[in-house]
């Protein structure tokens, strides 16, 4: 595991995107793993370690999250910039093609990239998100995104995380601790808060509506795997089923006892992803 960063250009200047690299530096079999709205690239440590014998894995902190820069102009947070940053990361990899694993927001970024003509995405894993994002799910996210509560220590933050992130499903104590350590940051006074810029909530300003991206989905042609927590409120079952019938006609795998979103830490989940990425073209 190697921490690295990339300098990217946005509408108001350059910013640094931090990422973690796993596997042999010269390996051209590259997987890019991109996290959800308020998460970090370290969510993929368990998956990346499992894949690192056969792949080089790049796990970025999307700008405004984790160790990446916060933007001075909050209106710059959005998919046009995220797509540009991830394109720069793919170029940095040196690979002609890459595989993509994206959870929630990361899945939407992957879908948008894969839908482009001459896309470098070879195989696409979309984790618990789809071409229809219900307004009700966005309203649930808007209730906590952008708030930065302070906690006395990491233990207190972990207790909070276990409550708000209960839909992640059954995780071990080690896994919850890992998530708590890598999705929190310390204030100067020693208290702990979330590891993202509250300004990312700018995208939730105004009236929220269903997000419809079926034209994007229909433009994807690469082999695609859709993962869904069976209790997910963000990727609804009818949407997931429709994703198997149109566009790339994805394979669908659902996990019991999980909502939004599977964390790809359990052996069962890791195996499904690994086998899909290693399947012959």
The upper half-sphere exposure of residue 274, i.e. CA atoms within 13 Å in the direction of its Cβ, equals: 19
Report whether pLDDT(48) > 80.
yes
Give which of 133, 239, 146, 243 is closest to 198, Cα–Cα: 146
pLDDT at 276: 98
Domain count within the chain: 1
In a domain, 252, yes or no: yes
Cβ–Cβ < 8 Å for 186, 192: yes
Report whether pLDDT(237) > 90.
yes
For residue 231, the Cα-to-chain-centroid distance in whole angstroms is 19
The upper half-sphere exposure of residue 177, i.e. CA atoms within 13 Å in the direction of its Cβ, equals: 4
pLDDT at 281: 75
In a domain, 68, yes or no: yes
In a domain, 37, yes or no: yes
Per-residue model confidence as pLDDT tens digits over 69-92: 999 999 999 999 999 999 999 999
Residue with tokens 């595989």: 99
Give which of 114, 111, 101 is closest to 44, Cα–Cα: 101
What CATH number does residue 81 fall under? 3.40.50.1820
Report whether pLDDT(227) > 80.
yes
Per-residue model confidence as pLDDT tens digits over 95-121: 999 999 999 999 999 999 999 999 999
221-249 mean pLDDT? 98
In a domain, 262, yes or no: yes
Strand, coil or helix: what is 254?
A: strand
- Residues 127 and 13: their CA atoms lie apart, in Å, by 32
- Residues 157 and 9: their CA atoms lie apart, in Å, by 33
Report whether pLDDT(145) > 90.
no
pLDDT at 56: 98
Strand partners, 19: 4, 60
In a domain, 194, yes or no: no
210-238 mean pLDDT? 97
In a domain, 208, yes or no: no
At residue 202 the predicted structure's pLDDT band, cuts being 50, 70 and 90, is confident
Q: Which helix (H) or strand (E) holds 19?
A: strand 13-22
- Residues 50 and 29: their CA atoms lie apart, in Å, by 14
pTM beyond 0.85: yes
Is residue 49 exposed (0-12), middle (13-18) or buried (19+ Cβ within 10 Å)? middle
At residue 207 the predicted structure's pLDDT band, cuts being 50, 70 and 90, is confident
pLDDT at 263: 98
Q: How many CB atoms lie within 10 A of CB 206?
A: 7
pLDDT at 62: 98
- Residues 263 and 128: their CA atoms lie apart, in Å, by 10
Per-residue model confidence as pLDDT tens digits over 155-182: 999 999 999 999 999 999 999 999 999 9
At residue 141 the predicted structure's pLDDT band, cuts being 50, 70 and 90, is confident
In a domain, 205, yes or no: no
pLDDT at 243: 98
In a domain, 200, yes or no: no
Range of the domain at 58: 2-132+213-278
pLDDT-above-90 percentage for the chain: 89
At residue 42 the predicted structure's pLDDT band, cuts being 50, 70 and 90, is very high
Give which of 213, 280, 217 is closest to 248, Cα–Cα: 217
**Residue ranges in 94-208 assigned as alpha helix (H):** 105-114, 135-142, 154-164, 173-182
């Amino acid at each position: 595991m190697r921490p690295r960063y990339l300098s990217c250009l946005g509408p108001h200047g350059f910013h640094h995107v931090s990422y973690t690299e796993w596997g042999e530096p010269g390996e051209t079999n590259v997987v890019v793993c991109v996290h959800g709205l308020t998460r970090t690239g370290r969510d993929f440590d368990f998956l990346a370690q499992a894949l690192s014998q056969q792949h080089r894995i790049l796990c970025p902190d999307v700008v405004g999250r984790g160790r990446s820069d916060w933007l001075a102009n909050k209106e710059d947070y959005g998919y046009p910039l995220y797509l540009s940053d991830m394109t720069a990361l793919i170029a940095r990899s040196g690979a002609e093609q890459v595989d993509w694993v994206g959870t929630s927001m990361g899945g939407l970024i992957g879908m948008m990239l894969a839908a482009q003509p001459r896309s470098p995405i070879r195989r696409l894993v979309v984790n618990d998100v789809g071409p229809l994002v219900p307004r009700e799910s966005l309203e649930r996210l808007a209730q906590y995104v952008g708030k930065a509560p302070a906690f006395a220590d990491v233990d207190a933050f972990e207790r909070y995380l276990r409550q708000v992130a209960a839909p992640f499903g059954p995780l071990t104590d080690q896994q919850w601790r890992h998530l708590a350590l890598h999705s929190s940051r310390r204030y100067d006074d020693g208290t702990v808060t979330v590891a993202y810029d509250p300004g990312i909530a700018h995208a939730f300003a105004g009236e929220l509506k269903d997000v419809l991206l079926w034209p994007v989905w229909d433009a994807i042609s690469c082999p695609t795997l859709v993962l869904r927590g069976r209790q997910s409120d963000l990727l609804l079952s009818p949407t997931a089923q429709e994703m198997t019938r149109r566009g790339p006609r994805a394979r669908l795998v659902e996990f019991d006892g999980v909502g939004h979103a599977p964390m790809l830490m359990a052996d069962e989940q890791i195996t499904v992803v690994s086998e899909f990425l290693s399947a012959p073209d």
